[in-house]
Structures are given as C-alpha cells and as structure tokens.
Amino acid sequence: MDGANQTFSIDVNHITRVEGHGRIKINTRDGVVEEVRLCITEANRFFENFVKGMQPEEIPWIVSRICGICCVGHQMTATKAVEAALAIEPSEQTVLLRKMLTESQFIQSHVLHVYFLAVPDFMGAMSVLPLAKSHPEVVKRALRLKKLANDYTAVLGGRMLHPMSNTLKGFRKLPERHDLEQTLDRLRAAVPDLEETVRIAQTLKMPDYERETEYVSLKHPDEYALYDGEIFSSDTQTTVPVDHYLDVTNEFTVEHSTSKWSKWHRESYFVGALARFNNNFDMLLPQAKQAAADLGLRAPCYNPYKNTLAQVVETVHCTHNSIHMLEQILQYDLTEEDLGFTFRPGRGIGSCEVPRGILFHDYTFDQSGACSKANAIIPTSQNINNIERDMRAFVPQMLPGMSQEELKLKMEMLLRAYDPCISCAVHMLEVEFVG
Amino acid sequence: MKPKIAFFDFASCEGCQLSILNCEDILLDILNLVELVEFREAMSEKAPRYDIAFVEGSIHRDEDIGRIRDVRTRTTYLVALGACACNGNVQARSNFVAPAVNYAETYGEEARNRVQVDPDFWPLWAHTRVRPLDRVVHVDAYLRGCPTVPNEFLHLVTSLLQGTEPHFPPNAVCVECKKNENECVFEQNRTCMGPVIWGGCNAVCVNNGYVCDGCRGCLPHANIEAHVRLMRQYRISDEAIRSRYRLFLGFEPIARGV
Amino acid sequence: MTDSIASQKEIIGWIRDLAGSHPVFFPERHGKNSYRFQTVTHTSDIQFDHYRPSIVPPVKCIVPARESLLHFEKKADGRVLLDAPVDSSFRILAGVRPCDLKGLFLMDLFFADGIADPYYLTRRKNTFVIAYACPAACDEYAFCAAVDSLDHRNGADVFLTPIKGGDLLVTAITDKGAGLLAGVQLEACLDGPAKRIGAIAARPDAFGRSFQVNPTNLPAVIKKNWESPVWEKHVLDCFSCGTCNLVCPTCYCFDIHDDLNLDASSGTRHRTWDACMLPHFSAVAGGHNFRADPAGRQRHRIKRKFEYLPEKYGHGMVCVGCGRCGRQCTSGIDIFDIVTDLCAIGDQP
Amino acid sequence: MKIKPTPQAANNSVYLPEMCTILETHDMTEQNKFFRVELSKPLQHKPGQFVMVSIMGVGEAPISISNGPTQQSILEMVIRRTGRLTRVLHDLDAGDTIGIRGPYGSGFDLNEFYGKDILFVAGGLGLAPLRSLITPVTQKADRFGRITIVSGARNPAEELYRDDLKTWDRIDNVTVLRLVDRTENMPWKFGVGLVTQPLPQLAIDPQNTLACLCGPPVMYKFVVMALSAKNLPAENIFVDLERRMKCGVGKCGHCQINHRYCCRDGPVFRLSDVANLPEALQ
Ligand SMILES: Cc1cc2nc3c(=O)[nH]c(=O)nc-3n(C[C@H](O)[C@H](O)[C@H](O)COP(=O)(O)OP(=O)(O)OC[C@H]3O[C@@H](n4cnc5c(N)ncnc54)[C@H](O)[C@@H]3O)c2cc1C
Ligand code: SF4
Ligand code: SF4
Ligand code: SF4
C-alpha cells in the first residue's frame, strides 16, 4: 500500500539511534501532506543558566557534560571562549594537542554514527546487533576503529569521555611519549580498515533527494577548519568573524517549538559534515579527496542523506591528519607549561566545528571572577529548522510511491543522517507534525 | 536463560551509555551473556519486560516521572546509571535558580511572564526540579560517576549473572589516590573533594593532573564539617566552597546548606 | 660483613649498572614535594641528598596494591581448575631508608608468622635491598629516632652510610649483598665500625621529633589508655579515608575479592590493600559493624602500632617513625601528636 | 652480575582451596541450609574450628564445621543466607562444587572436657558450631558428667537440628532444653523465652562445670551474667566469637579483637582470656 490518497498520521516517538529524545509527526489527508513536524522532547538541563557563578577553569570541564558524544567539542569551544574572555594565549604545543584531541573525537563520533547508527538502516537491520551475527567482520572493524579513536582521545585527554587533562592555557598532564608513539603506529595500521569503510559506504544506496540550502561552517585559510577559523556561508561565499556569531544564528522562536531556531541568509541553513565538505573541499587531504571520489561525492552536494558519506570522508581526513600531527609532535619533547594566569573581567566567544556542525560558546565574567552570563548555540539546534524543511519537501515527493512504513523509515533515516545530537540541544525545541 | 537488559535515558548527556558502547574489547562478549532488548541509542527494537534496566539521566518533569515509573514496573532490577541518575549531577545546580528564572534566562523575559501565568504554556518546559531516580522510584544499584566506570558496570553484570548483588565499597577517592601513588593535591596547595567522595573511579582525575570535583557523590559517612574546615584552611571563601559543592553535588543536602 | 668505601658517584654508577640487568627501584622526585619508588631508567635522577619518605613505602614492590592469589576456570563438566602462580621475579630496592628497612623487616615477620604467605615470601626472597643511612632528619614530620628505627640495619643486603668527606661506607651485610657488589672495584675499609660510630656522632643531636617517653616504655603507656578523650579529639577532622594506613610501611591488612571474566567461567581471586580506618573494615553481613565509630578505629590503629604488635613480636615499636601518616593525612592528624597526648595523660598520676 | 631468582613455589598457596562436591543439602529453616560435602581426605579438625568456603567468581567466607571429628572425609555445615556469597551458596545443590580450605582456628580441646559437667548454650545458628563438640561428647556421654544443652531459636520454625536435639535428649546424662523467643502461633510444646531464662534454675557445680556459648553478639553478655551469678569462673566459660574475615589465617587483619586474631587465636576463646579484650563482647 503506498501513501497516495491516504489519510494517515505517523507518530514516531522516541526516535532510536540518535542521541537524545526526539519525535516525528506526519499527517496527510487524501494524499496531501498537512503537517510534518519534528519534536524534540529532551528535558532541558539549563546549562547556560547554572554555569553562572562558576570559576573560569571550571567551565570547560562542566560544559563538556552538555553532551557525551560531543564532550570534547564542547570542552574545546568553551576553553577557547573562556581564554578569549581572559585574554589567555595558548602555546603552539597546546593548540596542536587540542587539534589532535578534536580530531580523535571526530573519528570516534563519525565511526559510531556511520557503523552503529546509519549502516543498519541501509542493511535493513533494526540495529547493529544482528549485524554482529550476519556481518561479524563489519562489526569487528567498527569496534576496532572506534576503540582506536577512543584510546587516542584518552591518551590526550586522560579518558575517553569528559576528559580532564585539557584546561585553560594548556594541559594539566601531558600525554606520555610512549602512548603517542603507539597511537601513531595504530593510526597508520588502521588505514586498511578505513579503505574498507569507504568500500562499504560505496555500497550504501542513498535515497535520491536533493534540496539546495545554505551551508555554514568554519573556514580557515591553511587547513580543513575544525578547531579554528571564521564563519563561512555558501550563499555569500564570504566569512564573518566568530565574534559576530549572533548575526549568523539569528535565533528566533516559533509557535510550535520550545527551542529557538536559526536562519541566516535564507529560511534555514545546514551545518555538519556535508556543510564542511561543501565549503572546504579544497583543504581536504589528498587521501580524503580520493575517498570522496571513490564515493562519488562531489562538492557541492545537496542530498542531506549523503551527510553520512561526508562523515566517511572526514574520518579519512582526520586519520591522516592525525598521523601528520603526531609525527610533528613526536619530533620534539613536550614541555610542561605554567598554567597560571591573571584574571580579568570580560566576554569571550569561541567556536569550533564538532562532528555535527559549528558550535558557539559565549561567556562573560564579572569583577567577582565568576561567570555572569553564558550562551551556547549547538549544531543540532541550528540544523533542526533545516531538517524539518527537508522533511516538508521530501514527504510529498515520496508519498506517491511509498508505504507508510517506508515513509516513516525514510524520515527516520533523514533525521539520523543529520546525526542529530539532541542531548546537545540545550535550547529546547518542539516541532510537531499534527493534522 | 540470558537476562534481558534494557537501557533508558532521561536528562543526561548520554555519555554513560556511550561509556558502555566504548567497551569495544568486550562488547561482543557482553552481548553473548545478556540479551539486549532495548537500547535506543544503538537499536530500534523495543520490549515489554526486562530483567535489568539501566537508567541514565535525572528526572525533571511530570512526564519523566510517568516514564520512569513505567520502566520500574517492567523491570526486575533497576540500575541508576551515572551521576545524573544517581545524584542529579551538574544540572542539579539549576535547582538553586527558580524555574521561572531558568526560563527567562534561556528564553527571554516574555517566557518568564507567561510561564508564571499560563499553566499550558509550552508544557514541555514543565520543569519541576532536578531529582535523582531514587527520589521517584526504588533503585536497586548505583553505577556512580560522570561518566560511569566500565569496570563497575562489568562487576555489576557479572555479579547479577552469578545470582548475587554487586558490592561497591563506600571508600573515599583518597584510597585510590594512594593506590596510584598520587601526590595529594592539597600538598600542591590546591583543594580536592576526594576525602568526602565515593571512590571507584580509580581517582582518574587526580591521576591526570586534576583534582577530584566529586562527580561520584558524597559518601554516606562523609565528614563534611571537617572538609569545610579544611577548605577554609586553604583560604577558600565560604561562597566558593558552596559553589564547589554545587558543581556535581547540587542535590546533596550539603550543597544546600554549606 | 665487609666494609669498603666509594664515592657517591661510583655508587650511583653501580646502581645504574644494576638497573641495566635487573629492575631496580629508587625513590625519585615526583610532583611538587614528593618521592616515589620508581624503576630506574637511563633518565632517572639518582641522588642521595634530597629525600622525603615516598608517598607509599617501598614494600609496595612486594605487596602490590592489587595482586592475584589464584586463577580459576570452571569447565563445562563442572570441574573447576585452580592455579596459584607465585611471582618469583627478581628486583632490587635501592635507596631504602632505615625507617622503611625496619618496616620491611617487620613485614617479613608478619607474613612468615603462623601459616606463611607464599606470595610475600617468594617476592621478598627475590628482593635485594640496598639501604642508605639518613645523616639528618628528612623533614619535620619524621620521628624515627623516637621509635628506635633510625639505626635499624636488619633486612638490608647492602648498607650505605654517608661518612665525612661525602663518600659512602659500603657494607655488604649478607652474602646476597656481597654478590651484588662482586666485580665492583671498591676501596677496602678496615675501620668500618669506627666510621659508623663517627657517622652517628656527626648526626644532629635532636634527630627529628621525640616523645617524652622512652621507646621501650611506650607500649605500657599506650596500654593504660583504653577509654581516653584523646581518641575522640583526634578524629574530629578524620575522613575515615584510610590514607594513614595505606601509606604506612607496616600496615598489611588486605581484602580479597573475585573478578569474573566475561566468559562467565574463568577469573581471578585478587587481594588488594585494605585499611582499618575505612568505615566498613569490621562490618559483617547483616549490617553489624564491630568498629563503627572513627575513634574506635583510630584507637585500634594506634594500639596496633604501639601496643598489640610490639608485644606480640618483641621487636620494638611497629610504628617506624617515617611520619608518612601525619604528613599525608589531609586533615593533618598526626600519630605523633596522638601518642604525645597519650603520653601526657599517661604521665599524670 | 646476573642473579638467578629462587624458583617459584608451586601451587602450595594457603589461599588455594580444594574443590569439593556437595553430597547433600536441605533447607533447615527459611534462612539456613544444611550442606554435606565430600572431601578428598578427612579434615582432621577439632570441634569449634571453621573452614573457608568459596564459590569461584563470587567470593569466600568463614563457615563453622558442624560435624564432630571423624575419620570420614565429610564436612557438614549450616549456612545462613545473608549476603553476596551465602545467597549464591543457597542456590547450590548436591553435585555442585565448592571450594574448601581449612580447618582453621583454635577450637575446643576435647581432653579438657572429660569427666566434667558441660553446659552448652546455643542461640540460633550458634548450635551449628557447638554441634561439632556436642556430637563427640554425646557419643561417649558416659565419659562426661551431666550434659545440659540449652538451645534457643527465634520461633519454632527457626529451630535447627531438631532430630539431633531429640536424639541427644534421649541419652541418660543429657538434658536438652529447647526454647523459642516467641511461638508466633506455631505448635510448640517446649519452653518460651530467651536462652538466659532456664539458667538460674540449673544446678551448676562451679568447680566442675565447663560452659560453651555460641550465638548472636547480644547473647553473650546476658548469659555470662547469669553464669557469673552461679559463680562459674571465667576460666570455665568458652565463647565462640565471630568477626569479619578474609584470609582465615591471621593475616588480613579484619577479625582482630584488640591484639587477638579471631581466626587464629579464636574463634573459641576462654572468657578469662577475653577479659582483657575490651572489644570482644561489646
Ligand atoms: C568463625 C566464623 C564462623 C562462622 N560460621 C558460620 C556458619 O557456620 N554458618 C553461617 O551461616 N555463617 C557463619 N559465619 C558467618 C559467615 O561467615 C557470614 O555470614 C558470611 O561471611 C557472609 O558472607 P556473604 O558474602 O554472604 O556476606 P557479605 O555481607 O556480602 O560479606 C562479604 C564478605 O565479608 C566477610 N564477612 C561478612 N560477614 C561476615 C561475618 N559475619 N563473619 C566473617 N566474615 C564476614 C566475608 O569475607 C564475606 O564474604 C561464621 C563467621 C565466622 C567468623
Ligand atoms: S588528591 Fe584528593 S583524592 Fe587524592 S588523596 Fe588528596 S584529597 Fe584524597
Ligand atoms: S576523581 Fe572525583 S571527579 Fe574524577 S571521576 Fe573520580 S569522583 Fe569523579
Ligand atoms: S589519613 Fe587522616 S583523615 Fe584519613 S583515616 Fe587517617 S587519620 Fe583519618
């Protein structure tokens, strides 16, 4: 039974295989889509509110708790924001270590998403578990890559989640040389696994839907921007400084949402792997460009389902880039740095790319030395607007040839393709599809 | 028969579930021992009954209460997974700000005014109060920490598999600090929550150059008065001590009183 | 027992040489203010001039924080295979100070007493000790002289005594020690005893802290105090964290627990350090706790060191005066102060 | 110089149990289960000693030997379900394997008892260890004086070794006084009250009587008071004490009672020795 001329409503409560709680509602009457809504039902934890009163060095450590899977990204962005507020200049060594920490989390998050959350859809499985029986080599490879990435994070950060080594100005404990060497060896040895990952990704049949939108990411003149850069729009092909982020996100509330939405030059914009890929393709390492070619992924790409492929490309990039960075850092001995600083009141803004897109943190410190105002704008809340618009555009296109079940699955897949991290959405939001 | 296990989450970062997914070396072994029937983060299946439910996250809203009670009725054994579920974690600090203020801060003055007069306004925000699970339902075991410690998870699973309960000794973080031969951070003129905090994390924060901020919650026998006196000796103001206690221990009675 | 003389440089070179072929542990600087017995590598900083008692005593090389007692494997047919391998690897502890040497000597007695403990004894048998006599008190916490451990030598294989002019008097105390020194070119010394007396004479008169009471009378004084306000006084700030036990060179209490592997059939029975100051140390099933209050636990700890074990073994105080527990207690609770208070009360008629 | 390590001591660890097969189990009460275990050789134990019982992967606990000294390779125990290990023990049945090491502890010296009047006071599970002495004593009852066994249980359903109590009671010079704290509406034709209740009525020859007490910690103080009132000297009273134990061989420190190790110096202590152990009967 296909959806043409049908009157039905689909309600997917607690969407699975995404971080956090969401809900999709679709209502059609006589084959006409009346309403498509994406609701995020996650309870708010009011981070921006309760970090007030905290000491500068406590903030990156606490806000990493916004999200487990993006904890490094939140910590890095907060560290940069607080450092900006306090006029702290981290050393070259620190920045390099932080970049490695950042990329370690890109690898682990992308591998998790591609293998655990997305691939089962394409293989027609409810989860990765049946794959452990039917395709044990796939699951074992996924676990191997994920473990490598996690260990890499732990070597630099002290542990896999909510790392404690990084702080303002530098690292409380430097990674052991021996561990860095071992990580380098393991990353090099992981190249065949990556090639295999690309090969699997090649076989994934992507739904054939396109909708051109505005792509927003960081951009850096010298590198594929992840840790640093300015805000770039595919619409204007220009950058604006990070300090102007509020002009970019333009948060607004909508009637049916408990979250603020974002828009910049048009009704919505896209952040995440595909946006970075589209905007910064030239800065990818050759191996990553090759992977993109193998996957038939060309910039610009307007198919949001292919965000998953862009993640594969970025995994290749981050692995090879990490190999370069490790080679570089192993050339000299790491030096213990003095982490002391003098406090000054002020405001600072930081931005990093995290696996799911561009992230902004903004803190103000008053004379008392404690945080008096905080703001964080998370990729997923920037994307929600765009996801809902994709759904609205795709549902009518899909309806004629698709059963309700299939439609439901395609919508879930679309949502999962964005790899949304709803726990991150500290800005609450509700999008309902009710007819 | 393999025990059926399920994972649920409430307000949290979902890092504790991720910590378990991160046990790559043994994940497949674990899956041989148990039957995973629900794990929203990694699978789409759902189940009506389970032997062990791992519940992550703190309880904030009325609808959360309904859902956790439902989980409780379906499971034989309920485990609070991680600091949010065990003691409210960092978000418990928001209990010290009136809900209306929370909304105003996050959504603007208008929201504050409406939330106070209009009970139907944005019902999803019906934020009551951040509470650990055991304020709402009976909890059989606690896997403490932010994030949870895989070894403790394994101890729990293997204990239950053998028909007995896990045992987590109520020892301070200092014990593990000694076993790791760390120089006490007080020796370095910094301060630490370790003496009053429930160990089991292997003092991982101190091992890595930081101090213990107390994510695993206060020990039942914690000598808080002595700890406050000790912090004062290091010239920490009472306000700073209170703020420190409210980092991870916002729900502990002490954080309200200090 | 043979004496010879060597420069510090020669001895440091010798220790480095030994480290080339065996694991050698030496107290190395760690953190802001501390020392740790660490495996000597080519980058190790080996010196005798600066020292504070290491965070945990060197006996950790013989009773590690966690060790396996036995492995088990349950077979499908119901049989259970057990295996209790004993670690018989070889190690050298160098730069061990007299307090810790006395600690080792006492541990040897404890673990051999009654039914012998093969794990300890085997490791101990394969452990060589190169001790070093302190020329001055390491810091203001030490009270080794007050408990008679400053001149302890029993248990060392080689003893190094700093003598006038900066050289070291090298004494091979055991055959094992002589073996370690075999092949090392050292200047013979015929007046070793005189040199030792000289070294003792050169020490400051007040060596560390001292009690009002003569060491031999301490057990009797402590014994008088069962009910005493002193116990309560010194636990007001106690966290029951067990640090004082865990860093003590003569605390040996342990816990035993099983860890099952994920195959659900094999695993290991471990023993880990335990501490009688921890609140549940004496708790039994059903909830009864035989030492529920911190004051009772503090009393037990002090009495073990100054009354129970000294009376049982007859080798003097079982507190060796290293000062670690007082130094490292976060609340600054110092066994020296407790004993001083008890002595003060004991002196009252 | 290269030093050769002393060769490794082969599997002779004191902590290594012998794996034994359970021959028989039955529930004695709701919480207490009886176990008969087959050993590879006779235990050679003294009455009052205990063994360490383990299940690999769960843990180990001290359990009293409940049978009298015997040439058979048999061990009998009563295990109360209280915690991590004992609850798993309760799931086991005949044919299952458990680890046993021991016997440990001082125990009673049977020689001292010949010719004497003997008073046993057992509270609840305390009858299990005392049975290891009652059995040899009642087997050769003619070599002892008057034998009195006071056995108390919480209620009729909680009474242990009912058949044994009956058998012993039939022996000429043996008197068995069975009591429960409360009948709780169950049929019961014996005494109601605490184990201290019958003591004042007993005719005790203070010079020629030995008393053996075993029961919950609260019991000792009151029984000792009652016996002192009868002028029974502390040298003639034995108490069987219980403490947390991990090693059973005087090393782990958990069972210390002042300067004594409950596992090595006890668990059976002479009351006169306990007098200078303030921690013993508190
Ligand atoms: C000399 C002696 C004889 C005993 N005889 C018997 C007997 O015949 N029958 C019986 O049912 N019980 C006996 N007990 C008590 C029994 O040892 C405990 O009930 C048992 O250790 C509880 O273990 P668990 O793992 O189930 O409890 P948990 O509370 O989970 O205890 C964990 C561990 O702590 C230690 N522990 C806890 N409680 C005790 C305790 N009361 N005594 C010693 N160690 C303890 C053990 O090592 C135990 O494995 C005896 C105890 C002693 C000291
Ligand atoms: S650093 Fe903290 S946890 Fe460690 S010993 Fe000191 S007070 Fe205890
Ligand atoms: S050291 Fe403290 S803050 Fe760190 S994991 Fe352990 S309990 Fe949590
Ligand atoms: S180290 Fe200090 S605080 Fe800790 S148990 Fe010992 S006396 Fe108490």
User: Per residue in C87-110, pLDDT tens?
Assistant: 889 999 999 999 999 999 999 999
Mean pLDDT of chain A: 85
Asked if the model's pLDDT at residue D108 lies above 50, the reply is: yes
- C346 or B74, which is more confident: B74
Token output for C115: 């039914």
Band (pLDDT 50/70/90 cuts) for residue D209 is very high
Token output for D97: 């394997």
Spatial distance between the Cα atoms of C306 and C302, rounded to a whole number of angstroms: 6
Lowest mean pLDDT among A132-141, C22-31, D121-130: A132-141
Asked if the model's pLDDT at residue C170 lies above 90, the reply is: yes
Type of residue found at A336? E
The two beta strands, B75-81 and B141-143, are parallel
- A173 or C220, which is more confident: A173
Asked if the model's pLDDT at residue D7 lies above 50, the reply is: no
Spatial distance between the Cα atoms of D246 and D60, rounded to a whole number of angstroms: 7
- A129 or C72, which is more confident: C72
Ligand 4 atom closest to the Cα of residue C297 is: 5
**Please, which residues bridge with residue D260 across strands?**
D257
Positive/negative CA dihedral, D76, D81, D87, D93: positive
Type of residue found at B199? G
pLDDT at residue B102 in the model: 62
Q: For residue range D132-155, what is the model confidence (pLDDT) as tens digits?
A: 999 999 999 999 999 999 999 999
Spatial distance between the Cα atoms of C230 and B11, rounded to a whole number of angstroms: 49
Type of residue found at C172? A
pLDDT at residue B109 in the model: 66
Mean pLDDT of chain C: 92
Backbone torsions φ then ψ of A373, nearest 5 degrees? -155, 140
pLDDT at residue D55 in the model: 95
Distance of CA C150 to the CA centre of its chain: 13
Spatial distance between the Cα atoms of A266 and A233, rounded to a whole number of angstroms: 11
Nearest CA to ligand 2 atom 6: B184
Residue A73 CB neighbour total at 10 angstroms: 31
Q: What is the largest CA-CA distance in chain A?
A: 70
Q: For residue range A11-34, what is the model confidence (pLDDT) as tens digits?
A: 655 555 555 556 677 777 776 777
Asked if the model's pLDDT at residue B113 lies above 80, the reply is: no
What's the Cα-to-Cα distance from C43 to each of C19, C30, D187, D262, rounded to whole Å? Answer: 12, 14, 81, 49
**Looking at residue C154, what DSSP letter applies?**
T
Across residues D239-262, what is the average pLDDT? Answer: 92
Going from the Cα of A225 to the center of ligand 3, the distance in angstroms, rounded, reads 33
What's the Cα-to-Cα distance from A263 to each of A238, A384, D17, rounded to whole Å? Answer: 16, 11, 71
**Looking at residue B34, what DSSP letter applies?**
S
Band (pLDDT 50/70/90 cuts) for residue A279 is very high
Across residues C254-268, what is the average pLDDT? Answer: 92
Interface contact B220, partner A, CB < 8 A: no
Contact (CB<8Å) D246/C282: no
pLDDT at residue D102 in the model: 87
Token output for A339: 């982490």
Q: For residue range A216-274, what is the model confidence (pLDDT) as tens digits?
A: 999 999 999 999 999 999 999 999 999 999 988 887 766 555 556 788 888 899 999 99
Contact at 8 Å (CB) between B85 and B55?
yes
Asked if the model's pLDDT at residue B42 lies above 70, the reply is: no
What percent of chain D shows pLDDT beyond 70?
96
Across residues A40-50, what is the average pLDDT? Answer: 68
Type of residue found at A370? A
Q: For residue range B8-37, what is the model confidence (pLDDT) as tens digits?
A: 988 888 889 889 888 888 888 888 888 888
Nearest Cα neighbor of B53 from B37, B65, B42 is B37
Buried b (16+ CB within 10 A) or exposed e, D243-256: bbbbbbbbbbbbbb
Band (pLDDT 50/70/90 cuts) for residue D73 is very high
Residue D259 CB neighbour total at 10 angstroms: 18
Nearest Cα neighbor of D102 from D245, D260, D256 is D245
**Please, which residues bridge with residue A261 across strands?**
A252
Number of H helices, E strands in chain C: 12, 12
pLDDT at residue A266 in the model: 86
pLDDT at residue B221 in the model: 92
Spatial distance between the Cα atoms of C246 and C63, rounded to a whole number of angstroms: 12
pLDDT at residue A435 in the model: 26
pLDDT at residue A409 in the model: 79
Closest partner CB to C262 (pick from B26, B167, B171): B26
Taking a contact as any Cβ pair under 8 Å apart, which residues of chain B between 164 and 183 contact chain D? 164-165, 167
Band (pLDDT 50/70/90 cuts) for residue A44 is low
Band (pLDDT 50/70/90 cuts) for residue A192 is very high
Ligand 1, pocket residues at CB < 6 Å: C 284-285; D 50, 59-64, 77-80, 82-86, 125, 128-129, 242-246, 267
Spatial distance between the Cα atoms of B23 and B34, rounded to a whole number of angstroms: 15
Radius of gyration of chain D (CA): 20
Nearest CA to ligand 3 atom 2: B212
Spatial distance between the Cα atoms of D166 and D162, rounded to a whole number of angstroms: 6
Contact (CB<8Å) C55/B158: no
Among A73-82, D195-204, D273-282, name the most confident range: A73-82
Which of B211, B219, B223 maximizes ligand 2 atoms within 8 Å of its Cβ, making it the mutation to test the pocket?
B211
Contact at 8 Å (CB) between A139 and A132?
yes
Across residues B37-53, what is the average pLDDT? Answer: 75
Asked if the model's pLDDT at residue D117 lies above 50, the reply is: yes
Nearest Cα neighbor of C251 from C97, C107, C39 is C107
Ligand nearest to the CA of C332: 4
Taking a contact as any Cβ pair under 8 Å apart, which residues of chain D between 68 and 107 contact chain C? 82-83, 86, 95-97, 99
Q: For residue range B54-71, what is the model confidence (pLDDT) as tens digits?
A: 999 999 877 788 889 999
Band (pLDDT 50/70/90 cuts) for residue B107 is low
Positive/negative CA dihedral, A102, A103, A106, A107: negative
Across residues A338-353, what is the average pLDDT? Answer: 95
pLDDT at residue A294 in the model: 95
Type of residue found at A182? Q
pLDDT at residue A37 in the model: 67
- A4 or C65, which is more confident: C65
Radius of gyration of chain A (CA): 21
Spatial distance between the Cα atoms of A128 and A150, rounded to a whole number of angstroms: 19
pLDDT at residue A434 in the model: 27
Cα D261-D265-D266 angle, rounded to 5 deg: 95
Query: Omega before A300 cis (within 30°)?
Result: yes
**How far D56 CA lies from chain B's nearest CA (Å)?**
10
User: For testing the chain B interface, which of C74, C235, C240 should be mutated: the one with the most B CBs within 10 Å?
Assistant: C240
Render C317-341 in DSSP notation, one character per residue.
-S-----HHHHH-TT---HHHHHHH
Spatial distance between the Cα atoms of D17 and D58, rounded to a whole number of angstroms: 14
Q: Is A301 exposed, middle or buried (0-12, 13-18, 19+ CB in 10 A)?
A: buried
Contact at 8 Å (CB) between B216 and B83?
yes
pLDDT at residue A383 in the model: 87
Asked if the model's pLDDT at residue C291 lies above 50, the reply is: yes
Interface contact B180, partner A, CB < 8 A: no
The two beta strands, C91-96 and B75-81, are unpaired
Mean pLDDT of chain B: 86
Beta-strand ranges (E) seen in chain D are 18-27, 32-38, 50-55, 59-64, 74-80, 97-104, 117-123, 147-153, 174-180, 191-192, 209-214, 237-240, 256-257, 260-261, 268-270
Band (pLDDT 50/70/90 cuts) for residue C345 is confident
Asked if the model's pLDDT at residue A430 lies above 50, the reply is: no
Interface contact D88, partner B, CB < 8 A: yes
Residue A4 CB neighbour total at 10 angstroms: 12
pLDDT at residue B27 in the model: 83
Nearest CA to ligand 3 atom 5: B201
Across residues B212-233, what is the average pLDDT? Answer: 94
Contact at 8 Å (CB) between D52 and D59?
no
Lowest mean pLDDT among A87-101, C183-197, D1-15: D1-15
Ligand 2 atom closest to the Cα of residue B182 is: 4
Contact (CB<8Å) B42/A258: no
Spatial distance between the Cα atoms of B8 and B155, rounded to a whole number of angstroms: 20
